Structure 1
Amino acid sequence: MKKCKIYFADLTHTARGISVPTFPLGTSLTASYTKKELGSEVDVTLFKFPEALHEAILDSPPDILCLSSYSWCFELGYKLGSLAKNRNPGMILVFGGPNFPIEETEKTSFLQRYNAIDFFIELEGELGLVGLINHLLDHSLDSGCLRASGKILNNLNYVWEGKLFNGPPVRVSDPNIIPSPYLEGLMDEFFEYPISPMIETVRGCPFQCTFCADGIDIKSSIRKFDLARIEEEMVYIAKRCKKSDELIITDLNFGMYQQDVETAKSLANTMQKYNWPIHLSAAAGKNKPDRLIEIASILDGAWIIGSAMESSDTDVLKAIKRGNISKKAFNKVLEHGNNSSPYAQTYTEIILAIPKDSKETHFNSIRYGMKHEAKIIRMFQAILLLGTEMATQKTRDEHELETQYRVIPGSAGLYKFFDEKIPITEIEEIIVGNSTMSFEDYLDCRLMNLIVESFYNNAMFEEIYAFLYEMDILPLDIFVYLKDHPKIYPPKIKQIMDDFIVSNKKNLFKTRKELEDFALNEKTIKKFIDAEIGINEILVGKSSLYSQFESMVELLITSVSGYLRENDKMSACTQHYLNELGRFTVFRKKEFFNTDDETKETFDFDFKAIGQLGFKVSPSQLDMFSKKVVIRFYNDEWQKHHIKQVMGVYSMTPSGLGRAIQRSNLKKFWRQFDQFDK
């Protein structure tokens, strides 16, 4: 009997490098389960890159093509899938993933618009897809025959003669029935690429945030993978992963469950034995601060811990159905995280322009994070994702959401499929205003987001802020001064700031159709590929500012000095210390990717002693640290290797460098220094 050939693909755009540099975990889990359940009846192959999938379809078309539906890859998958189906009419096209509406009328419209899709698997893919394939095999792989029957199957959505057929959503009760795609060898080929492996240890989320596809009721129960399996996966990956120093745990609330402690212990053992990973990325749970602290201690600086708050305002939180941890717990997590190791950092997260948000509440949320000394404040745009409550018409109307459309940065390209050049873009809808925030306020908040991202995050100028904290001055006070005094900007910094606002405006379109009409042609797509348009404004702005690092330092010192003078807190000694600290920062942190750079400089303060205090000195203490010293700045061999690994994942383009700065723990990049008496 001929095997049913099934291709699984979780595609990434590649026109500007690998847009999503991660292993295809979700699709691989579905493929692994399909292979287990259907055994000798199927032949399963996994893909990530569109070029490889295209060649495989040309060479040997599948009976069933299964593609993932995420906002950053859906159009790419649909275009390739629909073209393949046109050439091979008997091929069955199946999509699955979170990028799918939750209301029935919108589901119907979606499937009618993308009418090459035979079936859409909603929520978890494993059970729904295997059930579908079994029925297709019963119908001799005739999708039309199955759809004409009106059969209702779990998790399955399809349209036949204008009518939607959608089965009840179900979840895997025990995820351990899904074989590990790593241990099954399905992922082996991806270790050859500079992408980061991902694992899942827990499924589900007990919270109901309206902006998240996992906030729906059916996702609320928690299902856990066995620890023994997790340990095996970690070791398997660590032995093979040579091109990325990062492991991603995709759990929605890592650190909230007791098993997470055991997972952390296993990971720590793996790190000790294989010197991998160097960095763990995982979203921290919010209800167990003591457990987060325990896990952070076990991982010894490899995991940047914190707590996402989205907003510190109670009305905003009520509008998005979110509750945050208490101020006491928040402070406890951040305080421990900041002191757990020399490389430790902490974070919080804020979303701009969500329902009830305003310029005032957004700035207050930033202030709240800084007051508790979160070292990284991640500020996100509010994206209306399909499959979320916030994207429903009810929420849009209730909160007067003003939205515009943009091409997802890095997710556009000109692809040659079946001898035809095809321009493809992924488009997202973002909130740029609401009943309490105007578009002008949105732009002002975006400018502040650039300033915070560039001048605050990732320990960029923590030595300066440690000095300010000793005077009860928050960095945000300086940033407001900086934002409101553009005349003090060095010329190149002024140009970058102006370009940032212009880019924010010109990359937005009122309607999806208007954007499609503009973007979907070869000439315009090449502009996206060349990053002339459609950039990630924050990342490119941050990268551009970092390229002018000495001017950044000059602007920051000027802003601090101006603020201190306005508030009668400036002295000659303080000014001299700030100038010297600025110079120290330049030599330690400029051009971090230039690891061969080694310099010696003379300074007027004992920065070794000040550094041992975490740079927490007050103006009244400066005289005791006044001392002529020579400092040698350099990268050690471990740093050189780690920086090379990171830069291998992210390109040296402005957006690539910006992403490397944003996603890496830069404390591990900053040059070491030795100090000698003058």
Structure 2
Amino acid sequence: MTHNAQTVSSEFMPYAVACIGSYLKAKINYPVNIIISKFIEELEKELVNTTPDIIAFSYYIWNSDLSLKCAEIVKKRFPNAIVIFGGPNFPVEQERQKEWLAENRHVDFYIRFEGEIPFLNIVKVAIESDFNVDAVKKSGLKSLVSYDGKDYYIGQLENRLKNLDDVPSPYVSGYLDKYFSTSLWPIVETKKGCPFGCTYCTEGYDYYNKISRRSPKLVNEELLYLAKKKKKCSMIFVADTNFLMFKEDLDVCETLKLTREKYSWPTFIGCSTGKKRKDLVITGAKMLSGAITVAASVQSMDDVVLGNIKRDNISESELLDMAKELKNSDGISYSELIACLPGDTLDSHFKSFEKLVASEIGMIKHHTLLLIEGAPLSSKESREKFKFKTMWRPVSKSFGEYSLIGEKFSSMEFEEIVVETSTLSFDDYLACRKMGLVVHYFYNDGLFEELHGILNHLEIPIWNWLKLIYENVSATNNNLQKLFADYLEDVKTELWYTKESLLHDLKKYMPEFINDKRGSNLTFKYKALLLMNDDCLKDAFSFGFKMMNKLAEQKHVTDKLSMAFLYQLKQVSLMRRESLFETKISHRAVFDYDFTGVYSKKYMTNDLFRKVNGGVETIICHDEAQRKFIEEYFENHTERTVEVASLLNRVPARNMFRKLTVKKPM
């Protein structure tokens, strides 16, 4: 189940549950009718004409409450139906598991970890027992947790699938065909498992440390099927935990390269790239010509923090080499930092920012630490050891008022975030969030890449410029200052002290959530607000140039700057970004400089500051691929802030900046 009251909270096809259905159909010798539903409207339509024997729900942080409430209504209407849950958002400790099952008696079984084999086994025993739920509970099936009001049953873990070819593609099998008329992203998964043991992750257990694979033949078949069937969505997400960490991943890139050439699909590929083998990551990124974002996720650059979360990062030298290689080949790279990790301090957090900025990584995604049920770091032991203080907030876009088979209800998902630890205060947390927005505005996405080039030319570290912005932005008196003030206020007001107090206020604030006044991912909401308001964007550029000039004065290098060049560069920069989603805008202007060199040479050189005799006629507009991508997106989405924020969360804004072409020298 997926929320869709404000907007679609998870814009992906329901691939994981479809895989479970596809595996069941392939392995069971019994006529089963499998129906996949992602939205409440679909489920209601099916339940009008169907009496389910078994109904299964996924259980993630973004649909937990919705799935539980839908399951409760279904169980009430169909009391003999067996209700099964599965997904990563389940408690770690057995006592909490018992409490969860006692609180949710309408759930008959919870499948721990991977679901294909356990679900098949449930269905087999259910058929043999004429769908007697008590008989299934007493059968001792592996990976199942259940409670009958008296006894608590927990089975040993079932073996994981060793060969993903045992799961027929749910796309090729036709289970997801109905979603090709929507804008949902297709997901593919060529491998399962992760060799790392990060404690903040739901795959940070030994259970997942072996890799199971799908054969290249079946992966290619699936990708070609998607390329031919695609209608409204030009994007895809590769769900491997460490894509491009294995040599065979280059075969996937080769197939995607071919589908891009033959079918013009996909235009963008989302993924989480591997934490090792950066040589493969770079090779894959080059093959796909900037259509893929490459991750160098570090979470922190502090050794104490990394030890506390059992994280083994790539070295700083490897990070630097990868970032520069990708920059020189038009690849898009990103890294991630998490605030409030155990042992982190404000100073060490800012130093992590500084090191990443110095590496010239393309983007730095800044997150707050979530205590996810099912992750080792959410255990009682970890909470006490690191003195976590937490608060609650609604999960972005995951709320609404709904009706299912005649019963109306409200639903909201919650997440528990760490706002204070033994080494980082709440005020420090707010400072981390403020710096996160500074980086998001002034470093990420190449929004100020021209200014970065000037700073590099002057040999002024970009981090010094970002810190100066951080220290002075609240003292400005313009639209930019208001954005920061509103953001920091929202950072505080998005939090509740307890889940109970948030539930108490649910009815009061639900209209504001649905109408886009609350409940968005704040970082991307405020990125959208900046890019959707030309006055804000102009103020940001003026402030950015002002801070650069201040640093140049402090370093006594203003003689290296041409004021005429900077003035015209600012004009060009704004023309590329103002009214960004208006594809019909085309600027034509004569400049004293050939600004195409600013972008083609990657770094500023002295020859760029020389005026061209007669001037250069320059056209600034979206190219055909950009126009098609933007127009397709807004055919299926509105230009509300929440929808623009969702786009920016998935696709780098720099992919949509207008291109420069020189018409002819005057």
TM-score band w.r.t. shorter chain: over 0.9
Paired amino acid for 2:610:
M
Instruction: Measure how far apart 1:264 and its partner are.
Output: 1.5
Instruction: Measure how far apart 1:604 and its partner are.
Output: 3.5
Q: Following the alignment from structure 1 to structure 2, what is the Cα–Cα distance between the partners of residues 507 and 259?
A: 43
Q: Is the CA contact (8 Å cut-off) linking 2:474 and 2:485 kept in structure 1?
A: no
- RMSD between aligned alpha carbons? 1.8
Q: Is the CA contact (8 Å cut-off) linking 2:62 and 2:395 kept in structure 1?
A: yes
CA separation of 1:229/1:395 partners in 2, compared to 1, >3 Å: closer, same or farther? same
* Residue 624 (structure 1) aligned with residue 610 (structure 2): yes
Q: Following the alignment from structure 1 to structure 2, what is the Cα–Cα distance between the partners of residues 62 and 534?
A: 34
Instruction: Measure how far apart 1:622 and its partner are.
Output: 6.0
Q: Is the CA contact (8 Å cut-off) linking 1:306 and 1:337 kept in structure 2?
A: no
Match of 1:5 in 2: none
Q: Is the CA contact (8 Å cut-off) linking 2:122 and 2:136 kept in structure 1?
A: no
* Residue 238 (structure 1) aligned with residue 237 (structure 2): no
Match of 1:179 in 2: 168
User: Which of 506, 509, 517 in structure 2 is aligned with 1:532?
Assistant: 517
**Any residues of structure 2 matched to 1:199-210 within 5 Å, and which?**
199-210=188-199
Match of 1:228 in 2: 217
Q: Following the alignment from structure 1 to structure 2, what is the Cα–Cα distance between the partners of residues 297 and 238?
A: 21
SS at match of 2:513: helix
SS at match of 1:256: coil
Structure 1, 187-196 or 269-278: larger mean CA deviation: 269-278
* Residue 591 (structure 1) aligned with residue 579 (structure 2): yes
Structure 1, 418-427 or 628-637: larger mean CA deviation: 628-637
User: Which of 358, 363, 368 in structure 1 is aligned with 2:345?
Assistant: 358
SS at match of 1:40: coil
User: Which of 442, 456, 462 in structure 2 is aligned with 1:469?
Assistant: 456
Q: Is the CA contact (8 Å cut-off) linking 1:108 and 1:163 kept in structure 2?
A: no
User: Which of 100, 109, 115 in structure 2 is aligned with 1:110?
Assistant: 100
Match of 1:404 in 2: 391
Deviation per CA, 1:50-91: give whole Å up to 9, x if none. 111022223323111100010101111110110111122111
CA separation of 1:668/1:506 partners in 2, compared to 1, >3 Å: closer, same or farther? closer
Instruction: Measure how far apart 1:672 and its partner are.
Output: 2.1
Q: Is the CA contact (8 Å cut-off) linking 1:245 and 1:642 kept in structure 2?
A: yes
CA separation of 1:602/1:337 partners in 2, compared to 1, >3 Å: closer, same or farther? same
Match of 2:415 in 1: 428
CA separation of 1:286/1:649 partners in 2, compared to 1, >3 Å: closer, same or farther? farther
Aligned-residue identity in percent: 27
Match of 2:290 in 1: 301
Match of 1:7 in 2: none
* Residue 390 (structure 1) aligned with residue 399 (structure 2): no
SS at match of 2:620: strand
Match of 1:84 in 2: 74
Match of 2:147 in 1: 159
SS at match of 1:41: coil
Match of 1:557 in 2: 545
Q: Following the alignment from structure 1 to structure 2, what is the Cα–Cα distance between the partners of residues 56 and 581?
A: 58
Q: Is the CA contact (8 Å cut-off) linking 2:450 and 2:598 kept in structure 1?
A: no
TM-score by length of 2: 0.96
SS at match of 1:62: coil
Q: Is the CA contact (8 Å cut-off) linking 2:192 and 2:213 kept in structure 1?
A: yes
Q: Is the CA contact (8 Å cut-off) linking 1:369 and 1:377 kept in structure 2?
A: yes
Structure 1, 581-590 or 545-554: larger mean CA deviation: 545-554
User: Which of 166, 179, 186 in structure 2 is aligned with 1:197?
Assistant: 186
**Any residues of structure 2 matched to 1:92-107 within 5 Å, and which?**
92-107=82-97
Match of 1:6 in 2: none
Match of 1:268 in 2: 257
Q: Following the alignment from structure 1 to structure 2, what is the Cα–Cα distance between the partners of residues 339 and 646?
A: 29
Give ranges in structure 1 of 5+ residues lacking alignment: 1-10
Q: Following the alignment from structure 1 to structure 2, what is the Cα–Cα distance between the partners of residues 614 and 58?
A: 60
Q: Is the CA contact (8 Å cut-off) linking 1:588 and 1:670 kept in structure 2?
A: yes
Instruction: Measure how far apart 1:249 and its partner are.
Output: 0.7
Q: Following the alignment from structure 1 to structure 2, what is the Cα–Cα distance between the partners of residues 432 and 309?
A: 20
Paired amino acid for 1:345:
I
Q: Is the CA contact (8 Å cut-off) linking 1:467 and 1:617 kept in structure 2?
A: no
Q: Is the CA contact (8 Å cut-off) linking 2:52 and 2:78 kept in structure 1?
A: no
Instruction: Measure how far apart 1:575 and its partner are.
Output: 4.1
Q: Following the alignment from structure 1 to structure 2, what is the Cα–Cα distance between the partners of residues 651 and 211?
A: 35
Give ranges in structure 2 of 5+ residues lacking alignment: none
Q: Is the CA contact (8 Å cut-off) linking 1:405 and 1:510 kept in structure 2?
A: yes
Match of 2:312 in 1: 323
Match of 1:659 in 2: 646
Q: Following the alignment from structure 2 to structure 1, what is the Cα–Cα distance between the partners of residues 344 and 392?
A: 20
Paired amino acid for 1:73:
N
Q: Is the CA contact (8 Å cut-off) linking 2:14 and 2:38 kept in structure 1?
A: yes
Q: Is the CA contact (8 Å cut-off) linking 1:573 and 1:622 kept in structure 2?
A: no
Match of 2:281 in 1: 292
Paired amino acid for 1:255:
L
CA separation of 1:488/1:524 partners in 2, compared to 1, >3 Å: closer, same or farther? closer
SS at match of 2:276: coil
SS at match of 1:408: strand
User: Which of 83, 86, 109 in structure 2 is aligned with 1:119?
Assistant: 109
SS at match of 1:46: coil
User: Which of 15, 25, 49 in structure 2 is aligned with 1:25?
Assistant: 15
SS at match of 1:549: helix
**Any residues of structure 2 matched to 1:488-637 within 5 Å, and which?**
489-519=476-506, 521=507, 523-546=508-531, 547=533, 548-571=536-559, 573-617=561-605, 623-625=609-611, 628-637=615-624
Q: Following the alignment from structure 1 to structure 2, what is the Cα–Cα distance between the partners of residues 446 and 172?
A: 41
Deviation per CA, 1:296-329: give whole Å up to 9, x if none. 2222222122310111111111010001112222
Q: Following the alignment from structure 1 to structure 2, what is the Cα–Cα distance between the partners of residues 622 and 334?
A: 24
Q: Following the alignment from structure 1 to structure 2, what is the Cα–Cα distance between the partners of residues 332 and 91?
A: 56
Q: Is the CA contact (8 Å cut-off) linking 1:76 and 1:425 kept in structure 2?
A: yes
Q: Is the CA contact (8 Å cut-off) linking 1:463 and 1:614 kept in structure 2?
A: no
SS at match of 2:241: strand
